[in-house]
Structure 1
Amino acid sequence: MFPWSSTTALPTTSTRCPGGSEGTIPFGDNAFDVVLNRHESYLASEVGRVLKPGGAFLTQQVADGWSDDLHDVLGLPRPPATGFTRDFAVTQAEAGGLTVVESGEGADLVAYADVAPLVWYVRITAWAVPGLDPAASRPLWREVQRRIESDGPLVLREPRFWLRATV
Protein backbone atom coordinates (compact mmCIF):
# COMPACT_ATOMS: atom_id res chain seq x y z
CA MET A 1 0.00 0.00 0.00
CA PHE A 2 2.50 2.65 1.14
CA PRO A 3 6.30 2.41 0.96
CA TRP A 4 6.51 2.76 4.74
CA SER A 5 5.19 0.89 7.76
CA SER A 6 3.48 2.18 10.85
CA THR A 7 6.87 2.21 12.58
CA THR A 8 8.70 4.13 9.85
CA ALA A 9 9.66 7.65 10.87
CA LEU A 10 8.07 9.98 8.34
CA PRO A 11 9.46 13.41 7.47
CA THR A 12 8.00 16.10 9.67
CA THR A 13 8.33 18.90 7.16
CA SER A 14 5.02 20.12 5.85
CA THR A 15 3.83 23.03 3.78
CA ARG A 16 0.48 24.68 4.29
CA CYS A 17 -0.96 25.76 0.98
CA PRO A 18 -2.32 29.30 1.08
CA GLY A 19 -4.32 28.66 -2.10
CA GLY A 20 -3.94 30.27 -5.46
CA SER A 21 -6.37 31.91 -7.79
CA GLU A 22 -9.15 29.89 -9.40
CA GLY A 23 -8.09 26.73 -7.59
CA THR A 24 -4.46 26.78 -8.64
CA ILE A 25 -1.88 25.53 -6.17
CA PRO A 26 0.92 28.12 -5.89
CA PHE A 27 3.81 25.68 -6.26
CA GLY A 28 5.84 24.43 -9.18
CA ASP A 29 5.34 21.23 -11.11
CA ASN A 30 6.52 17.97 -9.45
CA ALA A 31 7.06 19.70 -6.10
CA PHE A 32 5.69 17.13 -3.62
CA ASP A 33 5.79 13.41 -2.88
CA VAL A 34 2.47 13.55 -1.01
CA VAL A 35 -0.48 15.93 -0.97
CA LEU A 36 -2.87 15.58 1.97
CA ASN A 37 -6.30 17.16 1.93
CA ARG A 38 -9.03 16.99 4.56
CA HIS A 39 -12.41 18.57 3.97
CA GLU A 40 -11.12 21.15 1.50
CA SER A 41 -11.87 21.70 -2.16
CA TYR A 42 -9.24 20.86 -4.75
CA LEU A 43 -8.71 20.60 -8.47
CA ALA A 44 -7.46 17.13 -9.34
CA SER A 45 -5.47 18.47 -12.27
CA GLU A 46 -3.62 20.86 -9.94
CA VAL A 47 -2.92 18.11 -7.43
CA GLY A 48 -1.51 15.98 -10.25
CA ARG A 49 0.61 18.87 -11.48
CA VAL A 50 2.35 19.48 -8.14
CA LEU A 51 2.89 15.79 -7.35
CA LYS A 52 6.17 14.16 -8.30
CA PRO A 53 5.88 11.08 -10.53
CA GLY A 54 4.66 8.23 -8.32
CA GLY A 55 3.47 10.72 -5.70
CA ALA A 56 0.36 10.13 -3.61
CA PHE A 57 -2.76 12.20 -3.01
CA LEU A 58 -4.80 11.37 0.08
CA THR A 59 -8.08 13.09 0.85
CA GLN A 60 -10.96 12.63 3.25
CA GLN A 61 -14.15 14.50 2.49
CA VAL A 62 -17.53 15.19 4.02
CA ALA A 63 -20.10 13.41 1.84
CA ASP A 64 -23.51 14.46 0.61
CA GLY A 65 -26.12 14.12 3.34
CA TRP A 66 -23.72 15.00 6.16
CA SER A 67 -26.31 17.10 8.01
CA ASP A 68 -29.42 15.00 7.29
CA ASP A 69 -29.57 13.41 10.76
CA LEU A 70 -29.23 16.82 12.40
CA HIS A 71 -32.07 18.22 10.30
CA ASP A 72 -34.21 15.18 11.12
CA VAL A 73 -33.64 15.60 14.87
CA LEU A 74 -34.56 19.28 14.67
CA GLY A 75 -37.67 18.53 12.61
CA LEU A 76 -36.39 20.59 9.70
CA PRO A 77 -36.40 19.71 5.99
CA ARG A 78 -33.19 18.18 4.73
CA PRO A 79 -31.06 20.39 2.48
CA PRO A 80 -31.02 19.57 -1.24
CA ALA A 81 -28.63 16.82 -2.27
CA THR A 82 -25.26 18.04 -3.55
CA GLY A 83 -24.19 14.86 -5.31
CA PHE A 84 -20.76 15.06 -3.66
CA THR A 85 -20.09 11.36 -3.18
CA ARG A 86 -17.12 9.03 -3.38
CA ASP A 87 -18.11 8.02 -6.92
CA PHE A 88 -18.26 11.68 -7.98
CA ALA A 89 -14.83 12.38 -6.45
CA VAL A 90 -13.28 9.29 -8.08
CA THR A 91 -14.64 10.35 -11.48
CA GLN A 92 -13.40 13.90 -10.91
CA ALA A 93 -9.93 12.69 -9.87
CA GLU A 94 -9.58 10.42 -12.88
CA ALA A 95 -10.77 13.18 -15.23
CA GLY A 96 -8.04 15.37 -13.72
CA GLY A 97 -5.33 12.86 -14.59
CA LEU A 98 -4.99 11.02 -11.28
CA THR A 99 -5.21 7.25 -10.90
CA VAL A 100 -7.41 6.30 -7.95
CA VAL A 101 -5.74 3.34 -6.25
CA GLU A 102 -8.29 2.85 -3.49
CA SER A 103 -11.21 4.61 -1.86
CA GLY A 104 -13.82 3.97 0.76
CA GLU A 105 -16.86 5.27 2.55
CA GLY A 106 -17.82 5.47 6.18
CA ALA A 107 -19.41 7.77 8.69
CA ASP A 108 -18.50 9.65 11.80
CA LEU A 109 -20.93 8.83 14.59
CA VAL A 110 -21.25 11.78 16.95
CA ALA A 111 -23.00 11.10 20.25
CA TYR A 112 -24.57 13.83 22.38
CA ALA A 113 -25.42 12.93 25.99
CA ASP A 114 -26.54 16.49 26.62
CA VAL A 115 -28.02 19.14 24.34
CA ALA A 116 -25.47 21.85 25.24
CA PRO A 117 -22.66 20.59 22.94
CA LEU A 118 -25.18 20.25 20.10
CA VAL A 119 -26.33 23.86 20.58
CA TRP A 120 -22.68 24.94 20.60
CA TYR A 121 -21.99 22.97 17.40
CA VAL A 122 -24.95 24.55 15.59
CA ARG A 123 -23.88 27.97 16.81
CA ILE A 124 -20.30 27.71 15.52
CA THR A 125 -21.20 25.96 12.25
CA ALA A 126 -23.84 28.28 10.86
CA TRP A 127 -23.76 26.40 7.54
CA ALA A 128 -24.98 23.20 9.24
CA VAL A 129 -28.51 24.55 9.71
CA PRO A 130 -28.75 27.85 7.83
CA GLY A 131 -31.20 30.30 9.32
CA LEU A 132 -31.53 28.54 12.67
CA ASP A 133 -30.85 30.92 15.54
CA PRO A 134 -29.82 28.73 18.49
CA ALA A 135 -30.69 31.42 21.02
CA ALA A 136 -34.20 31.83 19.61
CA SER A 137 -34.82 28.07 19.53
CA ARG A 138 -34.96 27.28 23.24
CA PRO A 139 -38.21 25.26 23.08
CA LEU A 140 -36.64 23.09 20.37
CA TRP A 141 -33.50 22.51 22.45
CA ARG A 142 -35.58 21.67 25.52
CA GLU A 143 -37.39 19.01 23.50
CA VAL A 144 -34.11 17.55 22.23
CA GLN A 145 -32.79 17.45 25.82
CA ARG A 146 -35.99 15.70 26.95
CA ARG A 147 -35.47 13.07 24.22
CA ILE A 148 -31.86 12.55 25.30
CA GLU A 149 -32.92 12.10 28.91
CA SER A 150 -35.64 9.61 28.02
CA ASP A 151 -33.99 7.69 25.14
CA GLY A 152 -30.28 8.03 25.87
CA PRO A 153 -27.54 9.77 23.89
CA LEU A 154 -28.44 11.28 20.55
CA VAL A 155 -26.24 9.75 17.84
CA LEU A 156 -25.86 11.59 14.55
CA ARG A 157 -24.35 9.93 11.49
CA GLU A 158 -22.15 12.12 9.29
CA PRO A 159 -21.11 10.38 6.03
CA ARG A 160 -17.50 10.65 4.88
CA PHE A 161 -15.39 9.20 2.09
CA TRP A 162 -11.71 9.02 1.29
CA LEU A 163 -9.52 8.25 -1.65
CA ARG A 164 -5.89 7.61 -2.42
CA ALA A 165 -4.62 8.44 -5.88
CA THR A 166 -1.31 8.61 -7.69
CA VAL A 167 0.06 10.31 -10.78
Structure 2
Amino acid sequence: WTGEEIDRLVEDLEEDAGARFQVAARFDRSIMVGRHVDTCEYNDALRPIRRQVNRLHEDYMRTDLQELIIERRAFPTHPDPAVNRFFDALVRDWNTLVKFCEQRFQRNIATVELEGWSDYSAPLQFAMMTMDRVINDTGWMWNGDPRANIIEPQLGYALRSLEASLQQGLGCGHGLLVVMRIEK
Protein backbone atom coordinates (compact mmCIF):
# COMPACT_ATOMS: atom_id res chain seq x y z
CA TRP A 1 0.00 0.00 0.00
CA THR A 2 1.04 3.57 -0.61
CA GLY A 3 -0.09 6.61 1.32
CA GLU A 4 -2.20 7.68 -1.66
CA GLU A 5 -3.86 4.27 -1.84
CA ILE A 6 -4.76 4.57 1.84
CA ASP A 7 -6.35 7.96 1.15
CA ARG A 8 -8.42 6.49 -1.69
CA LEU A 9 -9.44 3.55 0.51
CA VAL A 10 -10.60 5.95 3.22
CA GLU A 11 -12.73 7.83 0.68
CA ASP A 12 -14.30 4.58 -0.52
CA LEU A 13 -14.92 3.41 3.04
CA GLU A 14 -16.68 6.65 3.91
CA GLU A 15 -19.03 6.25 0.96
CA ASP A 16 -19.75 2.58 1.68
CA ALA A 17 -20.05 2.78 5.47
CA GLY A 18 -21.77 6.12 5.82
CA ALA A 19 -19.24 7.08 8.46
CA ARG A 20 -16.42 9.58 8.66
CA PHE A 21 -12.91 8.11 8.48
CA GLN A 22 -9.94 10.28 9.26
CA VAL A 23 -6.32 9.22 8.88
CA ALA A 24 -4.72 10.45 12.10
CA ALA A 25 -1.22 9.26 11.21
CA ARG A 26 0.72 7.16 8.72
CA PHE A 27 4.12 5.64 9.45
CA ASP A 28 6.55 3.81 7.21
CA ARG A 29 8.18 0.97 9.09
CA SER A 30 11.50 -0.80 8.51
CA ILE A 31 12.87 1.41 5.78
CA MET A 32 16.60 0.85 6.35
CA VAL A 33 17.14 -0.29 9.93
CA GLY A 34 14.38 -2.91 10.07
CA ARG A 35 15.27 -6.58 10.32
CA HIS A 36 13.85 -7.22 6.85
CA VAL A 37 16.67 -5.19 5.32
CA ASP A 38 19.24 -7.67 6.62
CA THR A 39 17.45 -10.59 4.96
CA CYS A 40 17.66 -8.84 1.55
CA GLU A 41 14.20 -10.29 0.95
CA TYR A 42 12.68 -7.06 -0.36
CA ASN A 43 15.72 -5.23 -1.70
CA ASP A 44 18.90 -7.17 -2.37
CA ALA A 45 20.65 -3.97 -3.54
CA LEU A 46 20.58 -2.53 -0.01
CA ARG A 47 23.28 -4.19 2.01
CA PRO A 48 22.46 -5.31 5.57
CA ILE A 49 22.66 -1.89 7.19
CA ARG A 50 20.74 -2.93 10.31
CA ARG A 51 23.62 -5.22 11.23
CA GLN A 52 26.04 -2.31 10.85
CA VAL A 53 23.87 -0.03 13.00
CA ASN A 54 23.55 -2.75 15.66
CA ARG A 55 27.35 -3.04 15.76
CA LEU A 56 27.45 0.54 16.99
CA HIS A 57 26.01 -0.79 20.26
CA GLU A 58 28.69 -3.44 20.92
CA ASP A 59 30.89 -2.77 23.95
CA TYR A 60 34.55 -2.06 23.27
CA MET A 61 34.11 -2.56 19.51
CA ARG A 62 34.79 0.39 17.24
CA THR A 63 32.95 0.54 13.95
CA ASP A 64 34.35 1.60 10.60
CA LEU A 65 31.81 4.35 9.94
CA GLN A 66 32.34 4.02 6.18
CA GLU A 67 30.36 0.78 6.46
CA LEU A 68 27.33 2.90 7.36
CA ILE A 69 27.39 4.93 4.13
CA ILE A 70 24.38 4.19 1.92
CA GLU A 71 24.41 4.41 -1.86
CA ARG A 72 21.31 6.09 -3.32
CA ARG A 73 21.27 3.55 -6.14
CA ALA A 74 20.39 0.89 -3.54
CA PHE A 75 16.83 2.20 -3.81
CA PRO A 76 15.28 1.80 -7.25
CA THR A 77 13.70 4.74 -9.01
CA HIS A 78 10.02 4.87 -8.14
CA PRO A 79 7.22 6.11 -10.42
CA ASP A 80 6.07 8.48 -7.65
CA PRO A 81 8.36 11.55 -7.50
CA ALA A 82 7.51 12.02 -3.80
CA VAL A 83 9.01 8.60 -3.03
CA ASN A 84 12.18 9.46 -4.96
CA ARG A 85 12.48 12.77 -3.11
CA PHE A 86 12.03 10.93 0.19
CA PHE A 87 14.79 8.42 -0.57
CA ASP A 88 17.06 11.20 -1.85
CA ALA A 89 16.59 13.11 1.41
CA LEU A 90 16.92 10.05 3.65
CA VAL A 91 20.14 8.86 2.04
CA ARG A 92 21.58 12.39 1.93
CA ASP A 93 20.79 13.09 5.61
CA TRP A 94 21.93 9.65 6.77
CA ASN A 95 25.28 9.97 4.98
CA THR A 96 25.71 13.57 6.11
CA LEU A 97 25.35 12.50 9.75
CA VAL A 98 27.82 9.63 9.36
CA LYS A 99 30.38 11.83 7.59
CA PHE A 100 29.91 14.56 10.17
CA CYS A 101 30.79 12.11 12.94
CA GLU A 102 33.88 10.95 11.06
CA GLN A 103 35.04 14.55 10.69
CA ARG A 104 34.08 15.43 14.25
CA PHE A 105 36.31 12.67 15.60
CA GLN A 106 39.23 14.51 13.99
CA ARG A 107 38.48 18.10 15.02
CA ASN A 108 35.96 20.52 16.50
CA ILE A 109 33.31 21.70 14.06
CA ALA A 110 30.93 24.61 14.58
CA THR A 111 27.74 23.01 13.29
CA VAL A 112 25.95 26.26 12.50
CA GLU A 113 28.92 27.34 10.38
CA LEU A 114 28.78 24.23 8.20
CA GLU A 115 28.09 24.89 4.55
CA GLY A 116 24.41 24.22 3.88
CA TRP A 117 23.49 24.06 7.59
CA SER A 118 20.38 26.21 7.13
CA ASP A 119 19.18 23.86 4.37
CA TYR A 120 19.53 20.71 6.49
CA SER A 121 16.34 19.10 7.72
CA ALA A 122 15.44 19.74 11.36
CA PRO A 123 15.94 16.04 12.26
CA LEU A 124 19.43 16.11 10.72
CA GLN A 125 20.35 19.33 12.53
CA PHE A 126 19.18 17.85 15.83
CA ALA A 127 21.11 14.62 15.23
CA MET A 128 24.28 16.52 14.34
CA MET A 129 24.01 18.77 17.39
CA THR A 130 23.42 15.72 19.57
CA MET A 131 26.45 13.91 18.20
CA ASP A 132 28.57 17.04 18.50
CA ARG A 133 27.64 17.32 22.19
CA VAL A 134 28.24 13.64 22.88
CA ILE A 135 31.67 13.72 21.23
CA ASN A 136 32.56 16.96 23.01
CA ASP A 137 31.33 15.78 26.41
CA THR A 138 33.31 12.53 26.30
CA GLY A 139 36.59 14.15 25.34
CA TRP A 140 37.88 14.16 28.90
CA MET A 141 37.19 10.47 29.52
CA TRP A 142 40.18 8.17 29.58
CA ASN A 143 38.64 5.08 31.17
CA GLY A 144 37.54 2.38 28.74
CA ASP A 145 36.80 3.38 25.17
CA PRO A 146 34.40 6.36 25.08
CA ARG A 147 34.07 6.20 21.30
CA ALA A 148 33.03 2.53 21.26
CA ASN A 149 30.99 2.55 24.47
CA ILE A 150 29.31 5.97 24.48
CA ILE A 151 29.64 7.80 21.17
CA GLU A 152 28.91 5.00 18.71
CA PRO A 153 25.77 3.79 20.54
CA GLN A 154 24.49 7.37 20.45
CA LEU A 155 25.16 7.45 16.70
CA GLY A 156 23.08 4.28 16.40
CA TYR A 157 20.19 5.94 18.23
CA ALA A 158 20.62 9.11 16.16
CA LEU A 159 20.49 7.19 12.86
CA ARG A 160 17.36 5.29 13.90
CA SER A 161 15.75 8.49 15.09
CA LEU A 162 16.68 10.22 11.83
CA GLU A 163 15.03 7.45 9.82
CA ALA A 164 11.88 7.58 11.97
CA SER A 165 11.69 11.38 11.89
CA LEU A 166 12.08 11.65 8.12
CA GLN A 167 9.54 8.98 7.18
CA GLN A 168 6.37 10.37 5.62
CA GLY A 169 3.97 7.45 5.52
CA LEU A 170 4.38 7.01 1.77
CA GLY A 171 4.55 3.22 1.85
CA CYS A 172 8.34 3.11 1.44
CA GLY A 173 9.22 0.54 4.06
CA HIS A 174 8.44 -3.05 4.90
CA GLY A 175 5.17 -1.95 6.45
CA LEU A 176 2.84 1.02 6.44
CA LEU A 177 1.08 1.65 9.74
CA VAL A 178 -2.08 3.72 9.65
CA VAL A 179 -3.96 5.14 12.62
CA MET A 180 -7.54 6.07 11.78
CA ARG A 181 -10.41 7.75 13.59
CA ILE A 182 -13.88 6.53 12.74
CA GLU A 183 -16.92 8.65 13.56
CA LYS A 184 -20.38 7.27 13.04
Above 0.5 in TM-score? no
Q: Which has the higher strand share?
A: 1
TM-score normalised to the size of structure 1?
A: 0.30
> RCO higher in 1 or 2 (8 Å CA, sep ≥ 6)?
2
Q: Which has the higher helix share?
A: 2
TM-score normalised to the size of structure 2?
A: 0.28
